[in-house]
Amino acid sequence: MRLVFATKDLALAGRSFEGFPLLIGSEGWPVEPAQSFLWHTLIESGESLSDLTWEAYGRRLYDYFAFLEANGLAWNEEVPAHGLSVLSRYRDWSSGELTLDPGTVNNRLALIVRFYRWAKQRNLITVLPFGEKRVRAAQHSGLLSHIARPGAESTKVSVMVRDRKRLTKFLTKDQVKVCLALDTDPSHQILFHLMVRTGLRSCEARSFPLKYVFNPRLKKGLRPGQMISVALDPSDMHIKYDRPRTIDVPWSLMESMWSYSLHQREVRKSNGDGSVTALLLTNEGRHYSKDSVVDVMKSYERKCGFYVRAHMLRHTYGTYTLLALRKSKEFEGEPLLYVRDRLGHSDIQTTMIYLHLINQLEAQSVLAHEDEIDMMFMAGSNKRT
């Protein structure tokens, strides 16, 4: 069994489904009913048009069915008398032998639970391989208490792993300064800056288009030191959920990207076929892949001596930008909404995690060197284009 992703040749009614996940069995045929479930969920129901979501769903379902195949288990196996279903065995293997994070395990289980509910609705199975019970939601308090429904109920699935609430990880201001001071690959530097200073996701930073980069000194109406508004278009780059948005790029970062495009990028471009439209290129002239960004972050970790991951850079931007805006006397607007829009969150509750982080951190550790934080994350925020 293997997981492959469709090329542009997979088309239906004039639409290409390039990147769609395909679960292929040993005989070369799609693995059913897993493949039909993916098609229904991602295409027929119109749940998501993002190829990043396609990949995530494909990998999660592949992981489960590969586990079943490796252990000689059937996805529709009846629950034995001892109650340990195939799904429970998969959960225990993921948590025990693989020692995966509880959140990762639950993300995988959540999709598989949906798969089994879908299968039961179509009479492919008669009994679900997990138990369910209705639970009453806890009373919501705080900023969003006015929109919480009192007495609301939800369904709790018995197979899920208990996941303790964890503090979101981000870099301290001193750690950011250490990373920025490293003598490292020019592409790696721009990649790091894009994520920690504009809040781009990994997929967005590595696909950031060359066409968005210009010499700010030659742009009419711009003044040195100000933030530069850049509109992100999903037709130009990878954006989660294909939602366009605007980010603010520091003047100094735009200058660095312009210099990189004129020099280092041209050298790297000559090593490839010249077809890559992204700003950042590897030494071989190719675009950065998801795995290569992981390797870049690990190289920072080895040099710095502390944990560095791409998602931490985005959280770092969100936390310190919100902090700087909340205490700014010049910024006009709602800081939380500003950060939400720059990060591309669809729900304000997702952005509120940074508000909770600020409230939880010790004042002396957060507010030290405020001028450095402001300069690093929000310099010139009141002078955006």
Q: 105-122 pLDDT, tens per residue?
A: 999 999 999 999 999 999
Look at the block and give the residue holding tokens 């509880």: 102
**Residues 6+ positions from 313 with CB-CB distance below 8 Å:** 171, 192, 195, 196
Burial class (CB in 10 A: 0-12, 13-18, 19+), 77: middle
Higher pLDDT, 134 or 97: 97
pLDDT higher than threshold 50 for residue 84: yes
pLDDT confidence bin for 193, thresholds 50/70/90: very high
Each residue of 235-249: pLDDT tens digit?
999 998 888 999 999
Contact present, 200 and 208 (Cβ < 8 Å) = yes
Of 25-34, 38-47, 275-284, the least confident: 38-47
Residue-range domain boundaries for the chain: 2-132, 173-383
Is there a common fold for 2-132 and 173-383? no
CATH code of the domain occupying 173-383:
1.10.443.10
C-alpha 315/C-alpha 199 separation (Å) is 8
- pLDDT level of residue 162 (50, 70, 90 thresholds): confident
> Confidence band (pLDDT; 50, 70, 90) for 301?
very high
State the pLDDT at residue 182: 94
- Let me know: does 205 contact 195? Beta carbons within 8 Å: yes
Confidence of residue 158 (pLDDT cuts 50, 70, 90): confident
Give the architecture (CATH level 2) of 2-132: Orthogonal Bundle (1.10)
Identify the band that residue 313 occupies on the pLDDT scale cut at 50, 70 and 90.
Answer: very high
Secondary structure (3-state) at 278: strand
pLDDT at 369 over 80: no
pLDDT score for 378? 53
pLDDT for 56 beyond 70: yes
Neighbours of 226 (CB within 10 A): 19
The mean predicted confidence, pLDDT, of the chain is 86
CA distance 215 to 237: 21
* pLDDT at position 328: 86
What pLDDT score was predicted for residue 376?
56
- Rounded distance, CA 231 to CA 211, Å? 11
For CA atoms 50, 53, 57, 63, give the dihedral sign.
positive
